[in-house]
């Protein structure tokens, strides 16, 4: 079983590009995730690394890129309790991107929100991953060691995902 990224790092131009994208598209969401009213490049970088160090789900896979009509390279996916994901290069631990998963819906978090995401959100995330695996969006999936051991019910759902 592989491990989560041990020494994650951003290449500066990639960090700048992805921060700009998240700031323009999801700044309200990231302010809620990071509990700040001033979402900055430094906060985005720190949060992306924190996701790896606190992830409850870590897996490696190739994901289909519909616009390019090909699969991205094999990468590690690290997901935290807030369903935020940091993707890293499988060999170098370079951070490729970091985003908050909404599964096609509006972000339900708001700045200053005390909403705590938990098992229900984790199970929904696993259901979505299982669906994406079934549809061929993900391939070559293997689950690794997360930073935090998931609750037994969540672990059961992860095992179902692996068995798919």
pLDDT in tens, the chain (164 residues): 678 889 999 999 999 999 999 989 888 888 888 888 889 999 999 999 999 999 989 999 999 988 889 999 999 999 998 899 999 999 999 999 999 987 777 776 655 444 555 677 888 888 899 899 999 999 988 888 776 666 656 667 777 766 65
Question: Is residue 156 within 8 Å of residue 73, measured between CB atoms?
Answer: no
Q: Is 113 inside a domain boundary?
A: yes
Q: Which two tokens stand for residue 40?
A: 């900055």
Q: Is residue 24 part of a domain?
A: yes
Does residue 55 lie within any of the structural domains? Answer: yes
With contact defined as beta carbons under 8 Å apart, do 8 and 86 qualify? Answer: yes
Give the residue from 100, 122, 131 showing the smallest Cα distance to 27.
100
| pTM assigned to the model | 0.87
Residue 145 forms part of a structural domain: yes
Q: How many CB atoms lie within 10 A of CB 145?
A: 11
Query: Is 34 inside a domain boundary?
Result: yes
28 occurs within a structural domain: yes
What are the CA-CA distances from residue 50 to residues 21, 46, 56 (Å)? 19, 6, 12
Look at residue 72 and tell me if it is in a domain. Answer: yes
For the chain, the domain total comes to 1
Whether 58 maps to a domain, the answer reads: yes
Domain region containing 44: 12-163
Exposed, middle or buried by CB within 10 Å (0-12, 13-18, 19+), for 127?
Answer: middle
């Amino acid at each position: 079983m592989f491990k989560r990224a041990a020494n994650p790092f951003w290449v500066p131009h990639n960090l700048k590009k992805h921060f700009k994208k998240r700031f323009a598209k999801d700044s309200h969401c990231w302010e809620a995730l990071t509990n700040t009213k001033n979402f900055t490049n430094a906060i985005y970088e720190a949060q992306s690394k924190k996701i790896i160090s606190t992830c409850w789900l870590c897996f490696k896979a190739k994901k289909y890129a519909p616009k390019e009509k090909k699969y991205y390279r094999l990468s590690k996916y690290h997901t935290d309790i807030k369903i935020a994901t940091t993707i890293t290069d499988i060999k170098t631990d370079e951070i490729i991107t970091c985003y908050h998963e909404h599964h096609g819906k509006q972000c339900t978090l708001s700045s200053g929100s005390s909403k705590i995401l938990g098992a229900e959100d984790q199970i929904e995330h696993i259901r979505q991953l299982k669906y994406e695996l079934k549809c061929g969006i993900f391939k070559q999936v293997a689950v690794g060691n997360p930073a935090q051991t998931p609750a037994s019910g969540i672990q059961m759902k992860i095992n179902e995902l692996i068995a798919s």
